[in-house]
Structure 1
Amino acid sequence: MNQQELIAMLYRISKIMEENRNYLIELDRVVGDSDLGLTMSDGFLAAYNTVSDGTELDLGKLLYMAGKTMGNKVPSTMGTLMAAGLMRAGKTLKGKTELTEHEVCLMFEAYEEGVADLGKAKPGDKTFLDGFHPGVQALGEKLESGQSLREALKEAALKANEGFEYTTTMIAVHGRAATRGEASRALKDPGAAVAALIMKAAADC
């Protein structure tokens, strides 16, 4: 993955968040404060815009810049978590001007670690990670088995969406949804929806 392909991926993520703004608002209205669609569309657009000119050749620095801008633009809980993912990926890939398939996987793994470390969450807590983690796992497994990056990303997107749908079997541990206890089980997690959208955008290359 070269610089232009990475920038294009950030563009697709910003685009899919804009297209699903109202969908995320509706999901978040049930368990949050209805601002998720605005936060994700505005935040990822700011992240893309800050690197879209292609002047930063270091892909690690590019991702870090995108994350820092997003964190400043949308300093909400979810905005800060997504920014942390970008910044951790940036730190992991600092000095790289092109990414191998393995390093693309490392980028997604680092993104997950950044979100998990800041949010103090783990898979099964009914959060973003329950969509993202299955996708990251699938990406690594498919690349290891010899599939192309394109094929592996498509499988990752499928597994991320399955993970999102599976959140209806979980009791929320974090955020406002957690106050509902058992009643939170039937609800789809908005954060996991964001994860599924990120993976879908990454796969649509």
Structure 2
Amino acid sequence: MNQQELIAMLGRISKIMVENRNYLIELDSVVGDSDLGLTMTDGFQAAYDAVSDGSEPDLGKLLYKAGKTMGNKVPSTMGTLMAAGLMRAGKTLKGKTELSGTDVTALFEAYEAGVADLGKAKLGDKTFLDGFHPGVQVLKAGVEAGESLEEVFEKAALAAWEGFEHTTTMIAVHGRAATRGEASRSLKDPGAAVAALIMKAFADK
């Protein structure tokens, strides 16, 4: 994956958030304060705009800049978490001007770690991670098996969406949803929806 392909990926994430803005607002209106669709749209647009001119050849620095810009633009809880993911990925890939399949796996693993460390969440807590982690695992396995990134992203997107759907079996541990206790179990987690959409953006052309 070269610089222009990575920038295009960020552009597709921004686009998919715009397309699903109302859906995210609807999900968040049940368990949050209804601003998720707006913060994800504004945040990922800012991240893309910050690097879209292609002036940064170092792909690690590019991702870090995108994340830092996003964090400044949407300093909400979820905005800060998504920014942390981009910035951690940037630190991990610093010095790279081209990404191999293994590097792409490292990007996603670092993104997950950045979100998990800042959010102090773990799998099963009904968060972004429950949508993202299944996709990352499928991505890693596919790359290690020598599959093309195109094939791998399609499978990862499906796994992430299934992970999002599976959040209806979990009790929320974080945020406003946690105050509902057992009643939170049947609700779909908005953060996991964002994770599934990010994965879908990488699969879409």
In the superposition, the TM-score normalised over structure 2's length comes to: 0.99
The residue aligned with 1:135 is: 135
The residue aligned with 1:168 is: 168
The residue aligned with 2:118 is: 118
The residue aligned with 2:5 is: 5
The residue aligned with 1:26 is: 26
Q: Describe how 1:79-98 pairs up with structure 2 within 5 A.
A: 79-98=79-98
Cα offset, 1:143, TM superposition: 1.3
Q: What SS does structure 1 have at the residue aligned with 2:116?
A: helix
The letter of the residue matching 2:17 is M
Cα offset, 1:93, TM superposition: 0.2
The residue aligned with 2:107 is: 107
The residue aligned with 1:17 is: 17
Gaps of 5+ in 2: none
Q: Distance in 2 between matches of 1:25 and 1:140?
A: 31
Q: What SS does structure 2 have at the residue aligned with 1:110?
A: helix
Q: What SS does structure 1 have at the residue aligned with 2:173?
A: coil
Q: What SS does structure 2 have at the residue aligned with 1:154?
A: helix
1:69-121, Cα deviation, whole Å (9 max, x unpaired)? 00000000000000000000000000000000110010000000000000000
The residue aligned with 2:47 is: 47
Cα offset, 1:147, TM superposition: 1.1
In the superposition, the TM-score normalised over structure 1's length comes to: 0.99
The letter of the residue matching 1:181 is G
Structure 1 runs of 4+ off > 2 angstroms? none
The residue aligned with 1:179 is: 179
Q: Distance in 2 between matches of 1:123 and 1:164?
A: 12
Q: Report how many aligned residue pairs link the two structures.
A: 205
Q: Does 1:57 align with 2:57?
A: yes
Cα offset, 1:8, TM superposition: 0.1
Q: Distance in 2 between matches of 1:137 and 1:124?
A: 15
Gaps of 5+ in 1: none
Cα offset, 1:204, TM superposition: 1.2
The residue aligned with 2:66 is: 66
Cα offset, 1:142, TM superposition: 1.1
Q: Distance in 2 between matches of 1:187 and 1:62?
A: 36
Q: What root-mean-square deviation, in Å, do the aligned CA atoms of Structure 1 and Structure 2 show?
A: 0.5
1:102-157, Cα deviation, whole Å (9 max, x unpaired)? 10010000000000000000110000000000000000011112211110111000
Cα offset, 1:43, TM superposition: 0.1
Q: Distance in 2 between matches of 1:66 and 1:8?
A: 13
